[in-house]
Chains A and B, each alone.
Chain A
Amino acid sequence: MGRDRVIVVGAGHASAQLCVSLRQGGWEGEIVLLGDEPSLPYQRPPLSKTFLHGTTTLTDLLIRGPEFYEKEDVTFRHARVTGIDRKAGTVALDDGDALSYDRLVLCTGARPRSLAVPGAELAGVHALRDAADIEAIRGTLRTARRAVIVGAGYIGLEAAASLRKLGIEVAVLEVADRVLQRVTAPEVSAFYDRVHREEGVDLRTGVGVAGFEGDRHVRAVRLTDGTEIPADLVVVGVGVLPNVELARDAGLAVENGILVDEHGRTDDPAIFAAGDCANHYDVRYATRMRLECVANALEHAKAIAGAICGKENPISALPWFWSDQYDLKLQIAGLSTGHDEVLLRGNPADGRSFACFYLADGRLIAADCVNRPKEFMFSKRAITQELAPDRELLADPDTPLISLLQTPARSAP
């Protein structure tokens, strides 16, 4: 009799963590990792930074080295899955093969949203998602002089910072009226706006892109008001769409991601989904959500490994994020959705270090910390413990944060 087999579709952060957590949880069956990129799972966050600069190679970025997969008896195969036959319990591969599974985990990730404007297919217009995207951008850097970034979210701003570091002229275009509008308080947006301008970025908010000009290669970006901005390199960073097609075609429930419960399980008990493609029920927040970050992918993987190994470990970890731009290390703890108050420690209008705390009913629910690792680690603990710290002391830079952890939690007003 053959061993039971887990098939993991997609090879990103969630997939690598699944291999680790399945073996640590006692899974003795086969693990087959199917990736549609040739590489073993690699770290994505450095793509827009050190990998773009060429100071790291893809080998440097591997989440675990090849020796790990060998030692843990994980089979990696470079293949794209084209369909799932749930009745037969098989997946079909693009090379014509079919593989049977006992448990199937979909880690299909997300793909960059493209701009539906004329010229979007021109050479020199790039997305920024995987290693191949960055390699394509890197190939143009020797000659690129003027870059335009479309979208002032984290990806767009990180790309802007990396290209400025290389001495390239950069314009950033954002349709909203402030940068990072979807994810941060106005105070934090204003801070990043100021820093990017100080670093020489031509930052324009409240502008729409009408199209890209050029014959074969992009030459300029045309705005909806008719303005043309010269560009020989364009990076589009306007968000991602979850890759749900495999799941949907197999009849699994899909709504802004593949719907999974708090164990990462779809409505088919043998099939799970993890990472950017999954919309999970979260125990901590008692609601559904789809997040796009490394920490979320790792938490999903741990929960799914728990479910497969019979050691329940529902999705409940505090989400956190980070973004490195110039000399700024931004660390974010928690989700700010639903906050009714913002408190600052340090001054975002001056210098390059401050923390922005988000409160709801007096309780700390999230924090954006710029060059403030201590505030970040404090927030992780305080949010997890549902503390309602004294507002004045929280905002007072002379009050040691650790003292706010030691005071007993008072009930929220």
Chain B
Amino acid sequence: MGTITFVEHDGTPHQVELEDGSSLMELATNHGVPGIDGDCGGEASCGTCHVIVDDAWITTTGTRTDLESQMVEMSPECGPNSRLACQLRASPALDGLTVHLPEFQM
């Protein structure tokens, strides 16, 4: 039912099968994608699932919420397309999505 690609900071891509309804954090951790920790289990409490949505996709995913902003804006790697993967829900509309991982999770 489609794929989502996580690109590590060093450029290594990880293509993961899209599961409708799962968060991007869950998809990444269930497939052992390095660089996404998701320590708090998806409560937007830890800020360790920071991803940067590819420019071509930001209108589809939407930009981050206020809560996400507060969590990611202290990261030196925060950009306009920064999001928390635990707050991004996978759906068929995201088939083909690419997100980039920062060098460090805070």
Contacts and interface: CB of A to CB of B under 8 A. Distances in A.
Q: Say whether A and B bind each other.
A: yes
Interface of A: 20, 23-24, 43, 45-46, 61, 63-65, 67-68, 71-72, 294-295, 298, 320, 322, 324, 329, 331, 372-374, 377-378, 380-381, 401-402, 405
Interface residue range, chain B: 20 to 34
B30 A65 contact: yes
Contact of A45 (B40, B71, B72, B106): B40
B32 A23 contact: yes
B40 A294 contact: yes
B40 A322 contact: yes
Q: Give the one of B26, B32, B67 with max A CB within 10 A.
A: B32
A63 B106 CA distance: 20
Given A23-B32, A68-B32, A381-B106, A374 B70 contact: yes
Nearest to A298: B39
B61 interface: no
Contacts of B72: 377
Q: Give the one of A23, A298, A372, A373 with max B CB within 10 A.
A: A373
Interface of B: 26, 29-32, 34, 37, 39-41, 43-47, 67, 70-75, 106
A45 B44 CA distance: 13
Contacts, number: 70
A64 B30 contact: yes
A320 B31 contact: no
Contacts of A322: 40, 43, 45-46
Contact of B74 (A65, A331, A381): A381
B68 to A, nearest CB: 9
B32 A377 contact: no
Contact of A64 (B29, B39, B46): B29
A294 B39 contact: yes
Contacts of B30: 64-65, 67-68
A374 B75 CA distance: 10
B45 A329 contact: yes
Nearest to A24: B34
A374 B74 CA distance: 7
B43 A324 contact: yes
A138 to B, nearest CB: 20
Contacts of B106: 377, 380-381
